[in-house]
Chain A
Amino acid sequence: MYAQVVVKSNLRGKTLKTSDVRNPDYFHQVVDCQWACPAHTNVPQYIRLIAQGKYTEAYMVNRESNVFPAILGRTCDRPCEPACRRGRLDGAPVAICRLKRVAADLRGDIAHLLPKIPKESNGKRVALIGAGPASLTVANDLRPLGYEVTVFEKQNKPGGLMRTNIPSFRLPEKVLDDEVGMILDMGVEIRYNSPVTSLQGLLKDGYDAVFVGTGAPRGKELDLPGRKDTDRIHIGIDWLESVAFGHIDKIGERVLIIGVGNTAMDCCRSSRRLGGKDIKVMARRPRGFFKASPWELEDAEEEGIHITINHAPKRFVVENGVLKGMEFERLEWDAEAKKSRVIDEVFLPADDVILAIGQENAFPWIERDLGIEFDKWGMPTVDQTTFQSTCAGVFFGGDAAWGPKNIIWAVAHGHQAAISIHNHCQGVPVTDRPPQGSNLISQKMGISEWSYHNDYNPSKRQKMQHVELTKRFQQLNIEVELGFDPEQTAREVQRCLNCDIETTFVENRCIECDACVDICPVQCLTITRDGEESELRTRLSAPAVNLDQAIYASNPLPQTGRAMVKDEDVCVHCGLCAERCPTAAWDMQKFDLIIPYAGAACTTSSVLA
């Protein structure tokens, strides 16, 4: 029924490996956003639902894979957007993250759509350490299966770094409480103000499995002269936490932020709201080498924050216990910003300094004789697939596993760890993973009629509107981003290219009339003699220069024995090849990735049959 495709990788050289599009990975890679997302959220599907005004359904599509759509719609690091095919066509990806927020903001009641929680326990008890996104995802996946889940949280509120490190002007507390509450309301037992001080102690309580989702809670130190001589030098993530809990509500007028990652952005913008007037973010390297996301940098600079480049901290200047400022070395870098030389030294006055130069893991509460292996950097040995440590039944996920990443990674880890915990508790090897599946369903509704909106919309990426500068600093928790208005949403959803509606080809129907080749607006198609991939790529209708994107090649065509070749790179999924095909050799079929979660069957045959 489906086309046999020869998926060629440049690694394979001349030996072509034939596979078919029923292998979920082939078309999954064509859906660039979904492939790039650690949680593999079905982005095109929810964007279409938003376009139809089905916000609740769009929210639920999100929630299934990423659990926190409203939170991520404001704070996600968006690995999907650099991957978005639209970016390769007009330079700007679809504003996927903003659209996620639209679905979350406009959704209706979803209580009846959430997983049903069984009244009876399945008799297994699981302890989750830390109430951040990784642990909450594990709870979300295990509660519907009847597990008794207990979360241990050191703070008096849940959310982990989503609460402590992300300022409320980016993520309103209500939004956070709402989505975290959805999970806690599944019957999760949470113990606040309960830091786990001994894993050994916890293990003695007889839990069937333990999940460590404690994040990377320790901010890096900057051990320079003067560091300990004043109390006006703060560790970024600790300072943000104190701000979040109301322990800190003001800062000096002149503030220096050391480091230029996303935590630095949150620190400088928080300072701006707590009385800071002259705020400088001090970067060692030039622009283009910052760790902060471009949009976070942009938002900070909009608020009058100065980014000072090429300054390396030398010492804190403290006189009589009073912080005066800092001395920096001014650097000159080579083109790759690898080597530098010192030009001179400068003094910059400051009332407060915030250190935001990274964070690391710390497990002082895990005894080293429990069978959990740690490496020389103090990081646990965690299996990349099962998330199990070297001690059976103890799992790690989120930042606790391999150091700081992002919320969406923590969620992805949580799902996988939940599968492992379920296996572990049911006596199934944790390495036995339920396979992904996929569906391909024709979207043809009639002649030249499709179930999706196949036209290409030339709209430009919509820009997020912000609260006016004069108003946004009045309170710490005024959300800066206003969200897309209905017109912006209507335009942005149409920019999505529906990359999940796949071009599929059946070679024995093809009469080689060239209609598909001629109509393709982006020169994706070529009928040509087969060849070795690297050579074939050069003689297509347009050279297939993007080696990250697959070449889809058919078996020999009936009349000439040539192959139908498609470069997936910039296909706009308009379906004109299928519309102009006289024999329906081409069709547009919707690809649905079936992602297994805890409780899914582990047998390969049942999913792929």
Chain B
Amino acid sequence: MPSIAKPIATHPTLQRNSLGLTIRDYEGSMSTLCAGCGHDSITAAIIRALWELDTEPHMVAKLSGIGCSSKTPTYFVSGAHGFNSAHGRMPAIATGAAAANRDLLYVGVSGDGDSLSIGLGQMCHAIRRNIRMAYILENNGVYGLTKGQFSASSDIGSKSKRGEPNRMAPIDPVRLALSLGATFIARSFSGDKEQLVPILKAAFTHRGFALVDVVSPCVTFNDHEGSTKSYKHTRKNTLRATQADWVPPQSEILAQISKSGTTSVAMHDGSVVNFSAVPKDYDPTDRRKVAAYLDDQPANAVVTGLLYIDPSAPDMHELGQSSPTPLRDLAYEKLCPGSAELERMQEEFR
């Protein structure tokens, strides 16, 4: 825990976004995580992405479960709504909140324990419903809050701090999401904001469920030799499948012909994600090819980038044909028309 709050002093050239807000206006309270935690870097990337997107703080809802990662919504956008739910239950809360108010931007922050162990079923159903939210999975392969046991994302052979290797197979959230039909799947690294920030901006503007799996080293329990989720290992084994560059809707786009070829994907709001495939012919819109590509990579490779995207799939509200007006804005009489109306509806089915 730092000795002081972050000083209010700012750089004299500090920029303002179109709302007149500085990046400092998107900060939260001081982090209580260990110094050097990858999660803090992800927090900084979220702050930057939301500021660059000119997001109104009160139009953001921060949701989380339990764990080191789930503490982090406190550390960004103090002016946003927030809900710190029960362990692994964040997707259910997100589903309910999104049902009631489809206008907010939902930023879910979870970890490998919260999402891949206790909350695995929850996450799967949020994917299935294609809830419009950014689901950031801060993945460190370890239960940091309970002092360093292997988690469900620990790789086989990855060593604990004591030197003991993990023997159980990991759950890979990217492949899981791919198989569940997720519409936006990305992986990045807390130590690479040049990649992470554009991916987060794309995730925040995606119309459905956007999974961003972020390798986020635990400096206290999983940053040693032999760990496969350390800063060093991740940097050494990162394999960029795509280079994503998010283009806001209002900007002029100057096309530049890339040797490796570029794929542009128009987002729902008119913004564009330009992909430069780093390996030749990588197609982030073809689910089968993405799966095949992942299968072809060496076991220790950490494949990063915006790996798959389908901006056309309907989200929960479109699937359920719900009211375009957020439910919370509907008059009570309309939302709950009373027993006479219920009687009439039931009559229809008799």
Contacts and interface: CB of A to CB of B under 8 A. Distances in A.
Instruction: Decide if A and B are genuine partners.
Output: yes
Contact of A458 (B8, B14, B43): B8
Contact of B41 (A88, A448, A514): A514
Interface string B185-205: 000001101000000000000
Contact of B191 (A458, A513, A572): A513
B191 A448 contact: no
B51 interface: no
B238 to A, nearest CB: 11
A49 to B, nearest CB: 21
A599 interface: no
A456 interface: yes
A512 B234 CA distance: 12
Contact of B7 (A455, A518, A579): A455
B36 A581 contact: yes
B191 A512 contact: yes
B285 to A, nearest CB: 31
Interface residues of B, number: 33
B295 to A, nearest CB: 29
A515 B235 CA distance: 17
B9 A518 contact: no
A391 interface: no
B350 interface: no
Contact of B232 (A511, A518, A575, A580): A511
B321 interface: no
B177 to A, nearest CB: 26
Given A519-B6, A559-B231, A542 B14 contact: yes
A583 B219 CA distance: 9
Interface string B281-323: 0000000000000000000000000000000000000000000
Contacts of A518: 40-41, 43-44
A583 B11 contact: no
Contacts of A514: 40-41, 44, 190-191, 193
A521 B10 contact: yes
A589 interface: no
Interface string B11-23: 1111000000000
B223 interface: yes
Contacts of B223: 511
A570 B11 contact: yes
A574 B191 contact: no
Per DSSP, are chain A's interface residues mostly helix, strand or loop, or mixed? loop
Interface residues of A, number: 36
Interface string B325-350: 00000000000000000000000000
B144 interface: no
B156 interface: no
A447 B160 CA distance: 26
Nearest to A560: B235
A518 to B, nearest CB: 4
A94 to B, nearest CB: 14
A542 B11 contact: yes
A249 B43 CA distance: 71
Contacts of A458: 8-9
Contacts, number: 104
Contact of A512 (B1, B10, B231): B231
A222 interface: no
Nearest to A582: B36
A101 to B, nearest CB: 27
A448 B240 CA distance: 37
Given A515-B40, A559-B232, A579-B2, A570 B35 contact: no
B124 to A, nearest CB: 31
Given A511-B36, A576-B4, A582-B35, A522 B41 contact: no
Q: Which of A89, A454, A570, A580 has the most CB of B within 10 A?
A: A580
Contacts of A512: 191, 231, 235
Contacts of A517: 44
Interface in B31-46: 34-38, 40-41, 43-44
Contacts of A574: 4, 7
B2 A448 contact: yes
A572 B7 contact: yes
B231 A513 contact: yes
A513 B12 CA distance: 26
A587 B12 CA distance: 25
B157 to A, nearest CB: 22
Interface in A519-577: 519, 521-523, 542-543, 545, 559-560, 570, 572, 574-576
Given A512-B191, A515-B40, A522 B3 contact: no
A448 B1 CA distance: 7
Given A511-B36, A559-B231, A448 B11 contact: no
A298 interface: no
Contacts of B12: 88-89, 570
Contacts of A448: 1-3
B10 A522 contact: yes
B217 interface: yes
A347 interface: no
A566 to B, nearest CB: 13
Nearest to A585: B36
B191 to A, nearest CB: 6
Interface of B: 1-14, 24, 34-38, 40-41, 43-44, 190-191, 193, 217, 219, 223, 231-232, 235
Interface of A: 88-90, 448-450, 454-456, 458, 511-515, 517-519, 521-523, 542-543, 545, 559-560, 570, 572, 574-576, 579-583
Given A455-B4, A518-B40, A570-B12, 7 more contacts: A450-B3, A511-B232, A513-B38, A514-B40, A514-B41, A521-B7, A580-B35
10 contacts: A448-B3, A456-B8, A456-B9, A511-B231, A513-B219, A514-B40, A543-B13, A559-B232, A572-B7, A579-B35
Q: Which 6 A-B pairs have the closest CB atoms?
A: A582-B36, A456-B7, A518-B44, A448-B3, A513-B36, A542-B11
